[in-house]
Structure 1
Amino acid sequence: MSKAGQQISLKRNEGLLQKEAAPVRGLEISSSAKARLTYSALEAVGHLRKAAQPDYWPTEGWRTAAPEAHGIDSAGLAKAVKEVKDQNLHSFVLVRNGYIVAEGYSKEWDEDRLHPMYSVTKSFTAAACGMAIGEELLTGVGHKLGEFYPEIQHEQSKAEITVEQLLSMSSGLEWDNRGERSSVEMADSPDWVQYVLDRRMRFQPGSAFQYNNGNAHLLSGLLQRAIGIPVNLYVHTKLFVPMGIRNPAWGGDLQGVAIGSWALRIRSRDMAKFGLLYLQGGQWEGGQLIPSSWVEASIQPCTSPSYADGTEGGYGYFWWLKPFPSSQSPFKAHSVFYAAGSGGQRIFVVPDLNLVLAVTGSNQKNGYMPEQFLEKLLRAVKADAALPVNEKAEAQLRASVGSLKRTVDKPVWGSL
């Protein structure tokens, strides 16, 4: 695994890496304590390997359960929903032990409506890469760009960019994230892949992290050449159909290359399915859809950025890696990996709690809202075993979810 994080250039944050951290109310954790929290890939992988299979698979539909049946306090969930519902939260689906234990939608959204994933799309592109390696359509992440695009062989450093460096945002290709300038130029160009190939080299490949939408689209083009079909069609056949993810939308560029960076649209419940797939090490209903070795490699830190709240996280293969504080101790962390998209799209996987949280929204003012929401929800997780039935707390949760359903977006949160 490369260690490109020794020199880090953070030019794009998706609301994740900020100069100033928004305050989080509730559990009081000092900045010095948070600074000691670190993401542990060893811990995350260990929990994935020990994860119990669900007693059913939600291919044809999810089963629901009361939060208390899975060790979660409904009153705590109700409080968390109440505290974030006015920040242009569109939906959330909380899954523990394979059951939806809480779910909510704002007025304009419901469980059947497709939601833009934005950069969550990248994690699906990464999954396609792992599946292609599993099928030996690629031999590994060491493949070099020049092998697939011989026209750049004369540019030695560019030709030497590896698949792994695209996946870890360390290609070294120049990319201007101010006002999404390069992404807009790519989208307006007649040939998106060629636009990325024409970028100058800013760093030596593997020497620095820079968030770059071009990396994911270039990987999509490379995979199409390796697989023989567009990534969106490949993922639909190999992943969406067996998982029961129906009628997704995933556009392509003018050359028919699936947009690897941002164009996927699926339902919130299907986001949770993808999270469950990774929680289960790529296994689904008796089949290994994604190699378990790929899932584990994807959540190893290739770079090690510091987050705004002082925690030490990382970036894997188009997955963000971050420790979240435990409600049991300010010095204990949950090693969480997640797919992230602009405006509040997230798929959080919390291996040690056997928990998945899918979130959608339209919040450009506080891009850290989903992380704050997860942190609040984690405080409601009290035990691995069932808690006593609490009808009063369940009523509070229903009231909070009902209030969310009456909520409409506020322009101040949605504006750039």
Structure 2
Amino acid sequence: MKNCKFLFCSFLFLFLSGSLAAQELYFPERGKWEKKAASVYNLDFSEAIAFAKANEYSESKDLRLAILKGFQHEPYHEILGPVKRRGGPAGIILKDGYIVAEWGDTERVDMTFSVTKSFLSTTALLALQENLITDFNDQVDYYIWDKTFEGDHNSKITWKHLLEQNSDWSGELWGSYDWADRPPSDLTLDEWRGRDLNEPGTYFKYNDVRVNVLAYSLLNVFRSPLPKVLKKKIMDPIGASTKWRWYGYENSWTTIDGLKMQSVSGGGHSGGGIFINTKDMARFGLLFLYNGNWNGKQLISEKLIEEAIQPSDPNPNYGYMWWLNKEGPRHWKGIDKNIFYAAGFGGNFIIVDQKNNIVIVTRWLEPSKVEAFINIVYKSM
């Protein structure tokens, strides 16, 4: 009887710890990925695939031209990092981890622009998990002692403010100024440059210079290049290829512990960012679908992932550099509110649906068509 009780408790522990559940999930090996026909799940994604192919991103495949046109309103904007000519529409849909739909060249490495931000925020989760950062509510200047966070305003900024893009950090980094990054069209340059700053945590503003401040701050915390951290802690364990790269700018170099290191970019609108293929993006999405677990190993704690996809106070559609499909200005109507996604310039998306065990990666889809595309996908369900 005692043995039975012991066995039952052991089983219960395994179940609650997620070990048993992890054994029942599918984790693709490096270089391999099992496919299942969508019809096995009574699904048909042919209409969605046709839609994605027919609604390719309309700007030039020469991304240098597309970038310069897309950000021509920014004063002093220039391309500082690598840029690569893009491919055509591509995508993958996963169900229970299996590939149930695929189109285009999913092995081709392309720029991914602001999808990079979700990879960047993941390195911040790792820093907290490893106690390199004690609390995201800590002020960053406690960790970074140079001039980056000097002053009455910048010294108030916490890690959480940077992750949620509501810090209103003010200054210059790698030759780029925060006030010159996506300035509002209703203000003159002098008005924008001399504006009153918002209290950190109260006002959302999408701003790549401030995202790069986060990347620089994390580089100083890890004291190791972020691509190296991401590779060792995330991309290698999930079986990603060796093809992906994470770049900064030609001038974004600093010296730490006597070694010259590049501070990477959190996006690509000045070049740089993560260059990656569709399948590796899907693996990253699958890790978040599985709440940070990969084949029984908890790479990121489930608690931290849950925290990362909570709405911020100033923006109900934004967490820690993941977009959220909550009620708000970026809500996709008719689609589950618990979906979260990474999004980048030119129509690059990683969409995670934990309720239905689905990951969708689509590339070079006209951004204004993504909501229609997602509704076509879910119509088949």
Query: TM-score under structure 2 normalisation?
Result: 0.71
Q: What does 1:231-242 align with in structure 2 at a 5 Å threshold?
A: 231-242=226-237
1:359-388 Cα offsets, whole Å, 9 max, x none, are 11063xxx232232112101111xxxxxxx
State the shift of 1:152 in Å: 5.2
State the shift of 1:221 in Å: 0.7
**Distance in 2 between residues matched to 1:378 and 1:331, nearest whole Å:** 9
**Distance in 1 between residues matched to 2:222 and 2:194, nearest whole Å:** 25
User: Among 55, 59, 82, which residue is 2:29 paired with?
Assistant: 59
Alignment pair present for 1:260 and 2:259: no
Provide the residue aligned with 1:162 in structure 2.
Answer: 158
User: Among 355, 359, 364, which residue is 2:358 paired with?
Assistant: 355
Provide the residue aligned with 2:291 in structure 1.
Answer: 281
Provide the residue aligned with 2:55 in structure 1.
Answer: 87
- Given that 2:334 and 2:375 are in contact with CA atoms closer than 8 Å, whether structure 1 keeps it comes out as no
Alignment root-mean-square deviation, CA: 2.8
User: Among 233, 240, 246, which residue is 1:245 paired with?
Assistant: 240
State the shift of 1:338 in Å: 0.2
1:373-415 Cα offsets, whole Å, 9 max, x none, are 112101111xxxxxxxxxxxxxxxxxxxxxxxxxxxxxxxxxx
**Distance in 2 between residues matched to 1:282 and 1:199, nearest whole Å:** 43
State the shift of 1:69 in Å: 1.2
Matched residue type, 2:50? K
Check 1:183–1:156 CA distance in 2 against 1; reply closer, same or farther (3 A cut).
closer
Secondary structure of residue in 2 paired with 1:251 = strand
Secondary structure of residue in 2 paired with 1:357 = strand
Q: What does 1:138-149 align with in structure 2 at a 5 Å threshold?
A: 138-147=133-142, 148-149=144-145
Relative contact order, CA 8 A, sep 6+: which one is greater? 1
Provide the residue aligned with 1:97 in structure 2.
Answer: 96
Matched residue type, 1:374? I
Provide the residue aligned with 2:225 in structure 1.
Answer: 230
Q: What does 1:16-415 align with in structure 2 at a 5 Å threshold?
A: 53=22, 55-60=25-30, 61-72=32-43, 74=44, 77-88=45-56, 90-105=89-104, 110-147=105-142, 148-151=144-147, 154-173=150-169, 202-246=197-241, 247-253=243-249, 254=251, 255=253, 256-262=262-268, 263-303=273-313, 305=315, 313-323=316-326, 333-361=336-364, 363=366, 367-381=367-381
**Distance in 1 between residues matched to 2:124 and 2:349, nearest whole Å:** 20
- Given that 2:338 and 2:353 are in contact with CA atoms closer than 8 Å, whether structure 1 keeps it comes out as yes
Query: TM-score under structure 1 normalisation?
Result: 0.65
Check 1:332–1:232 CA distance in 2 against 1; reply closer, same or farther (3 A cut).
closer
**Distance in 1 between residues matched to 2:46 and 2:365, nearest whole Å:** 21
1:332-375 Cα offsets, whole Å, 9 max, x none, are 83421000001100000011111000011063xxx232232112
Secondary structure of residue in 2 paired with 1:156 = coil
- Given that 2:56 and 2:364 are in contact with CA atoms closer than 8 Å, whether structure 1 keeps it comes out as yes
Secondary structure of residue in 2 paired with 1:112 = coil
Matched residue type, 1:280? Y
Secondary structure of residue in 2 paired with 1:300 = coil
Provide the residue aligned with 2:66 in structure 1.
Answer: none
Matched residue type, 1:94? I
The alignment of Structure 1 onto Structure 2 pairs a total of residues equal to 295
**Distance in 2 between residues matched to 1:202 and 1:185, nearest whole Å:** 14
**Distance in 1 between residues matched to 2:224 and 2:195, nearest whole Å:** 28
Matched residue type, 1:136? N
Structure 1 residue runs of 5 or longer lacking an equivalent are 1-48, 176-180, 187-197, 306-312, 325-329, 382-416
| Identical residues among aligned pairs (%) | 28
Matched residue type, 1:82? A
Check 1:183–1:94 CA distance in 2 against 1; reply closer, same or farther (3 A cut).
farther
1:67-122 Cα offsets, whole Å, 9 max, x none, are 121241x2xx21222233222161110001110100001xxxx1221121100000
The ranges of structure 1 where at least 4 consecutive aligned residues each deviate by more than 4 angstroms after the TM superposition are 51-54, 181-186, 198-201
- After alignment, is 123-132 or 240-249 more displaced? 240-249
Secondary structure of residue in 2 paired with 1:243 = coil
Check 1:245–1:169 CA distance in 2 against 1; reply closer, same or farther (3 A cut).
same
Matched residue type, 1:342? F
Secondary structure of residue in 2 paired with 1:95 = strand
- Given that 2:36 and 2:98 are in contact with CA atoms closer than 8 Å, whether structure 1 keeps it comes out as yes
State the shift of 1:220 in Å: 0.8
- After alignment, is 344-353 or 58-67 more displaced? 58-67
State the shift of 1:132 in Å: 1.2
